[in-house]
C-alpha cells in the first residue's frame, strides 16, 4: 500500500499498517564532534527515529538536538542508551516513550501519553502535556513544568512524575508504585483504585477516588520533595498534602461479598 504524506513523498505501509517498514536513516544530521543536529522539518517520525538511532548507536553521538519537530507523534521512542536529546519545539502524542536511559528536554509542549512505559532516564517538558502523561511509567523522572491532562500516571509502576501546574481528573488511577508531585490543583477522582505509591499535592483536590486516603507527611517525604525541586531548579510550594492507598481494596472478599457467594 502506498500513500502520500504532507511533503508529497510516497510513504509505504505493510499489511500490519506500519508506515515505511523498509525505510533507512536519511543521514542528513549535521555532526560536530560528539554533538549532532537533526532538522526534522521534512522527515517523517519513522525517519527521525532512524536517524536518532544511527547517531546514538552507530556514530556514538551522545548529544543530539532535533529542530523543527512540528509536533509530530512518536518521536524519540525506544532509546535504550545514555544520551542527551533536546527537542527544540513541540511534539505530538506518545513522545519519548519506552526509553531506558536517555535524558530528553522538550522546549515546547507535548500531546497524550508522554513517557509511557519509560524504564529509566529523565524527560523534562517546559510547557504543558496532554492526558495519560507517564502511563505505566516504571522508572526515571518525568518533569512537566506546566499543566497536565487527565489520568496522569495511570497504572504507574515506579519512578517520579513532577508537575509544576494542575493535573486533570483521575490522576494516579490504578497507581501501583512510584511518586507523583503536583504543585497545583488536582481534578476529581485523585488516586482512584491505587494499590501503592504516594501522591503529593500542593493545591486543592477536587475529590478523592475510591480507596485513596490522606496520610501525614514524614521526614522522608520532605527530604524527597526538597531533593526533587533542587535537582530541577523549580520553586517549591510552601506546603504539600500526601495521599496514599487506604488498602481497603486489597481483599476481594470485602469488596464483592455477593460475588464471593456465587463462586462458593
- pLDDT, tens digit, 9 for 90 and up, residues 119-145: 999 999 999 999 999 999 999 999 999
pTM as predicted: 0.90
| Bigger pLDDT: 21 vs 230 | 230
Enter the DSSP assignment of 26: -
| Joined grid coordinates for residue 218 | 514524614
| Joined grid coordinates for residue 108 | 515546547
Give me the pLDDT at residue 19, please.
75
**Residue 253: band (very low, low, confident or very high) from pLDDT cuts 50, 70, 90:** low
| Bigger pLDDT: 257 vs 154 | 154
Is the per-residue pLDDT at 4 higher than 50?
A: no
Q: What is the mean predicted confidence (pLDDT) over 169-188? A: 97
Q: What is the mean predicted confidence (pLDDT) over 169-182? A: 97
Nearest Cα residue to 244 out of 182, 170, 176, 153: 176
Is the per-residue pLDDT at 213 higher than 50?
A: yes
Are 179 and 149 a contacting pair, CB within 8 Å? no
**Residue 6: band (very low, low, confident or very high) from pLDDT cuts 50, 70, 90:** very low
Give me the pLDDT at residue 90, please.
98
- What is the average pLDDT score of the chain? 92
Is the per-residue pLDDT at 263 higher than 60?
A: no
143 sits in which H/E element:
strand 141-144
Is the per-residue pLDDT at 172 higher than 80?
A: yes
Measure the CA angle with vertex 112, ends 4 and 114; round to 5°. Answer: 105
User: Which residues, in sequence order, are bridge partners of residue 205?
Assistant: 186
Q: What is the mean predicted confidence (pLDDT) over 253-259? A: 61
22-26, 138-142, 259-263, range with greatest mean pLDDT: 138-142
Give me the pLDDT at residue 252, please.
60
Tens-place pLDDT, residues 77-99: 999 999 999 999 999 999 999 99
User: Which residues, in sequence order, are bridge partners of residue 31?
Assistant: 36
Q: What percent of the chain has pLDDT over 70?
A: 91
Among the ranges given (6-15, 112-121, 200-209), the one the predictor scored with the smallest mean pLDDT: 6-15
Amino acid at each position: 500500500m502506498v500513500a502520500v504524506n504532507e511533503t508529497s513523498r510516497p510513504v509505504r505501509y505493510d499489511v500490519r499498517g506500519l508506515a515505511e517498514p523498509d525505510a533507512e536513516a536519511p543521514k542528513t544530521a549535521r555532526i560536530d564532534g560528539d554533538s549532532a543536529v537533526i532538522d526534522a522539518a521534512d522527515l517523517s517520525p519513522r525517519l527521525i527515529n532512524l536517524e536518532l538511532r544511527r547517531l546514538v548507536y552507530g556514530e556514538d553521538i551522545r548529544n543530539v538536538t532535533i529542530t523543527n519537530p512540528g509536533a509530530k507523534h512518536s518521536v524519540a521512542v525506544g532509546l535504550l542508551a545514555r544520551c542527551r536529546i533536546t527537542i527544540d519545539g513541540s511534539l505530538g502524542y506518545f513522545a519519548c516513550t519506552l526509553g531506558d536511559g536517555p535524558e530528553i528536554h522538550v522546549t515546547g509542549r507535548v500531546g497524550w501519553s508522554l513517557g509511557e512505559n519509560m524504564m529509566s532516564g529523565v524527560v523534562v517538558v517546559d510547557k504543558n502535556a496532554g492526558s495519560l502523561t507517564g502511563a505505566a511509567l516504571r522508572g526515571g523522572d518525568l518533569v512537566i513544568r506546566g499543566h497536565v491532562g487527565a489520568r496522569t500516571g495511570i497504572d504507574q509502576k515506579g519512578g517520579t512524575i513532577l508537575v509544576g501546574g494542575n493535573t486533570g481528573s483521575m490522576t494516579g488511577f490504578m497507581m501501583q508504585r512510584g511518586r507523583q508531585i503536583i504543585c497545583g490543583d488536582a481534578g476529581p477522582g485523585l488516586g482512584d483504585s491505587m494499590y501503592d505509591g504516594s501522591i503529593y499535592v500542593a493545591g486543592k483536590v477536587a475529590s478523592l477516588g475510591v480507596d485513596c486516603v490522606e496520610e501525614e507527611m514524614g521526614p522522608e517525604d520532605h527530604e524527597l520533595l526538597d531533593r526533587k525541586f533542587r535537582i530541577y531548579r523549580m520553586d517549591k510550594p510552601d506546603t504539600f498534602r500526601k495521599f496514599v492507598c487506604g488498602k481497603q481494596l486489597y481483599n476481594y472478599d470485602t469488596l464483592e461479598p455477593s460475588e464471593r457467594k456465587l463462586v462458593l
